Amino acid sequence: MCAGGDSIASRPSCDRRARGGAQGGRAMCPDHSTKATTEHDGASRSVRGRQLQRGGSRQPGTELRVKSRVFREHTPSLRMIEKRPNGRYRVRIYRRGRYVASRTFHRKSEAAAWERRQLDALAAGTWVRPADGDVTVSEWVEAWWAGRQANKPSTSARYRGLLDQHVLPRWGRLPITAISRGEVQQWATRLAAGKSPSTARQALGLLRGALDAAVNDGVLQRNPAVGVRLPRMPRSEPSPLTHGELWKLADAMPTDRDRVLTLVMGYGGLRWGEVTALRVRDVQQRGAELRLREAVAEVGGHLHVGTLKDHETRTVVLPATVATELASWIKAKDSNALVFPSATRTYLRNGSWRRNVLNPVLEATGLPQITPHNLRDTAATLAINAGASVMAVAQLLGHETPSTTLRHYAGTFPTDLGDIAKKLDRAARTAKNKSRRREGAKDAPTRDRP
């Protein structure tokens, strides 16, 4: 009789185990071993009973194969704790018949607790591979950064600085599964208060993007950076010049290059990288049109030439007065030459031009302290005051959507609410008088109606 209760005569496998089994101990067949006894025994016994009723003979090992098949079909998660020869306990987790994880422990209680956590996570749909849970945020972010789609050099440099200064110092050493939404909310709120809402928003966006990739790869079940709220960004107020101030600035410039450069930026709204990359062949219609194809970005002291900010070329139209001065300036230049080169015939650098040209002129003339980007604000404001629509200004500045233009220059557009109310009042009065005249005509006496 085997330890499981069946007679050796009726169990061939037990018979062989009994004849060649352990010396001095109880013979235990595989089907009745303590390690193989689980909650699926009832299902396996029912299968064995049906086999006996059909009168089929059982071959050695058949019952184990049937039992394993029934177990996989009826049990979504299988676990096993076994003691290894070295005295440690190994836990193996199976999911729908497939091995998914294992870990060893010194104590059986630790193994059972870990097993319970894994099974609870599997049942709740929040399970992640234990090996992935040990990955630090720094390791994951670096892998995500290396594989992401490349941005423009200036954008990549700015994002890399945000990661190194704000994201990785706070989260880099933590396991990626140890981040909570509350902690991310506190970090982002402090960053917005200590730095600026813009810095916090960009740093949070980088962290959210890296964790989104972790969710897509199954390393995380939820992104703790999703749903974090930040203070609204204050609307930036432009600092434009008037027509008179712009021409005063241009007249005070020390060279013709600087004069024409100031007028082109003040009326064309070009970015610094766009105007310094402009070549003679890009000037069309005798200076009236500029075809923008490329831009220059300065990153870490190095110049990078690439596409425009939105990766699309655009055409800028200049006033005839400015076009005449531009055409005169490039008249003797080669078609491939830069329109506004430096003294060494290379790309003009922003910092150098501000330090050596713009700032001294502003001090000498008493004009407001502005930057080259404020000349872009000047172009937008002058166009709006001339009656340009939001769409027209967006095309002039190269904004991807008109909403960007409104976000920056909403306060510059005239409200016209008073004029609209007056026009509505005139239309309402006209309609009202016409309606009264029709009603009076119906009530007037006629030959047939005294």
In a domain, 169, yes or no: yes
- Concatenated DSSP letters of 49-118: HHHHHTTPPPPTTHHHHHHHHHHHHH-SEEEEEEE-TTS-EEEEEEETTEEEEEEEESSHHHHHHHHHHH
The 10s digit of each residue's pLDDT in 201-249 is 999 999 999 999 988 887 888 899 999 998 887 666 788 999 999 999 9
pLDDT of residue 242: 93
Hey, how many other C-beta atoms are within 10 angstroms of the C-beta on 21? 15
Last residue of a domain, one of 180, 200, 216: 216
Same domain, 183 and 274: no
pLDDT of residue 272: 94
Q: How far is Cα 369 from Cα 358, in angstroms, rounded to an integer?
A: 9
**What CATH number did the domain enclosing 319 receive?**
1.10.443.10
The 10s digit of each residue's pLDDT in 321-358 is 999 999 999 998 999 999 999 999 999 999 999 999 99
Mean pLDDT in the chain? 79
Same domain, 251 and 395: yes
The owner of tokens 């001095």 is: 24
In a domain, 423, yes or no: no
What is the number of structural domains in the chain?
2
Lowest mean pLDDT among 24-33, 73-82, 372-381: 24-33
pLDDT of residue 302: 86
In a domain, 328, yes or no: yes
In a domain, 166, yes or no: yes
In a domain, 113, yes or no: no
pLDDT of residue 370: 93
> What range defines the domain where residue 332 resides?
243-409
In a domain, 222, yes or no: no
Same domain, 198 and 314: no
In a domain, 167, yes or no: yes
Same domain, 269 and 354: yes
Report yes or no: 17 and 28 within 8 Å, Cβ to Cβ. yes
In a domain, 323, yes or no: yes
* Alpha helices by DSSP H, 196-340: 197-216, 243-251, 256-268, 272-276, 320-329
Same domain, 311 and 396: yes
The 10s digit of each residue's pLDDT in 257-288 is 999 999 999 999 999 999 999 999 999 988 89
Same domain, 209 and 300: no
Same domain, 251 and 359: yes
Same domain, 290 and 341: yes
Same domain, 247 and 189: no
Q: How far is Cα 181 from Cα 166, in angstroms, rounded to an integer?
A: 17
Last residue of a domain, one of 394, 409, 424: 409
Same domain, 257 and 207: no
pLDDT of residue 428: 86
Report yes or no: 154 and 297 within 8 Å, Cβ to Cβ. yes
Same domain, 187 and 275: no
Same domain, 211 and 341: no
